[in-house]
Copies of this chain bind each other. A is one copy, B any other.
Amino acid sequence: MAKYEQLADRLAIQIKQGIWQPGEKLPSLRKQSSLTGYSLMTVLHAYQLLESKGVLSARERSGYRVAESVEVSSTANAVQSAESVSVNDFVFDVLQASRDPHMFSLGFAYPDPSLYPRQHLNKSLAAAAKQTTVTSALDNLPPGNQALRKLIAQRYAARGMHISPDEIVITAGALEALSLSLQVVTRPGDWVLIESPTFYGAMQALERLGLRAVTVDVTPENEINLAAVERALQSKPVKACWLMSNFQNPVGYSLPDEKKQALAGLLKKYDVALVEDDVYAELYSGEELPWPVKHFCDDGNSLLCSSFSKSLVAGFRIGWVAAGKHANAIQKQQLMSTISTSVPVQLALVDYLETKNYEKHLHQLRRALHQRKLAMYHFLHEHWGRFAKVHYLQGGYFLWIEFCPNTDAMVIYKIAQSLKISLAPGKLFSLSGEYNHCLRINASFELTPSRRQLMNKLTNKIKQYLEQF
């Protein structure tokens, strides 16, 4: 085969794979030549051959483009993995479904991104672009940017929590913080206490780290029962407790302060590390920012994890852990896994917190979430109230829906999907397939007239399904 035919073959395969897409311009003759090492003449012959086959089209002065009519094979199927872990696959599907911009994403984990101060953040990002220096990458190695850690400590300080900047480690979102935390306080085979239902990320982390779960049941009406916690701690040599004490995901309860204090005491008594997920705390709708359980812990054995992803910006992937005596161990684990979080976004957050009004944004965000959640609650209560219990609790942006026990929420999930509505089915939050008659609804999106219409359609279809019983 001549060289130009070899190159043409190679390019044809690339076009089939979608590396160059219909209508897209190919590298110029000169660039292709320097990239591939073929002579200009060989490249020209290859391009001409593909043009004669209808794969490329040449335009005066604008080079060669992939023909609009060219066939592109969908390779997405070729990369399907044979491996499968049921809950994980399912979480993945739910998250992927929420990606579709045409979806009404009631299964989404983040608040409506239009509530974030995008223009201010973009300005801060542009400012950060001017600030990076030769040594920026070093300055931002674990534990992370010093100024950012101080700003986070200052916000805790303003509420009266004494968290030293030195115990804070910046992470890739709260999930990395939680996962590193669990890792440094456990060894494979250890027992960990979690709530049920619980955030699926907790179950995934336990599975990945080879840990065993003891669960304590919670409901919207009955937040975690301390007697049950103590029984669990007595029954197994529990090493860590992973929980959310504020606006728990998915059911929405918050622990009152006296229970937080009592829980802190219990964990200390049994020498159990606390891994606390506090990402929703800033989204309170009462008078005051609630305390984390860590506020009541005095032995340095609690790891408070949070992030800016739910309250300021989802895409930066910046979280942190206030890790007490485990701060150094966390840094080491991070150096071994992701090394550090991205420098420019750390700098942009410092700029945002220093020059923009975060408190004002939070105030507006809280108000918007409160209003939207109320509106969604009223809608659901009115339309679904006869066949489901719609739990409303203050704070955050989730509603927990309970159908009759024999309802299969997976059917409702699929009905909704056919209407381009994503939902988070209850069994996503269970280790053992429970809560299959429940749904978690993200109530942070505005109920526009067209969305109300869509929800009415969903309501009718759910009624049809329920009439079978």
Contacts and interface: CB of A to CB of B under 8 A. Distances in A.
A184 interface: yes
Nearest to A338: B172
A2 interface: no
A187 to B, nearest CB: 10
Contacts of A176: 337-338
Interface string A10-23: 10011001111100
B34 A92 contact: no
Nearest to A138: B99
Interface in A131-185: 132, 134-141, 150, 153-154, 157-160, 162, 164-167, 172-173, 175-176, 179, 183-184
B336 A316 contact: no
A204 B166 CA distance: 25
A130 interface: yes
B344 A315 contact: yes
B17 A164 contact: yes
Contacts of A150: 18-19, 21
Q: Give the most central of A160, A314, A324, A342: most B CB within 10 Å.
A: A342
A40 interface: no
B343 A89 contact: no
Contacts of A420: none
A331 interface: yes
Interface residues on A, range: 35 or more
A375 interface: no
A346 to B, nearest CB: 9
A162 B129 contact: no
A93 to B, nearest CB: 10
Contacts of A348: 344
Contact of A75 (B166, B175, B332, B333): B166
A21 B167 CA distance: 16
A326 interface: yes
Contacts of A183: 208
Given A19-B164, A205-B336, A359-B34, A325 B81 contact: yes
19 contacts: A10-B160, A19-B150, A35-B158, A36-B160, A75-B164, A79-B167, A79-B323, A81-B328, A92-B332, A99-B138, A110-B137, A125-B129, A132-B315, A176-B338, A183-B208, A205-B336, A315-B344, A317-B339, A341-B342
- A-B pairs with the 9 shortest C-beta distances? A315-B343, A137-B315, A35-B158, A125-B129, A137-B314, A79-B327, A81-B329, A172-B338, A81-B328
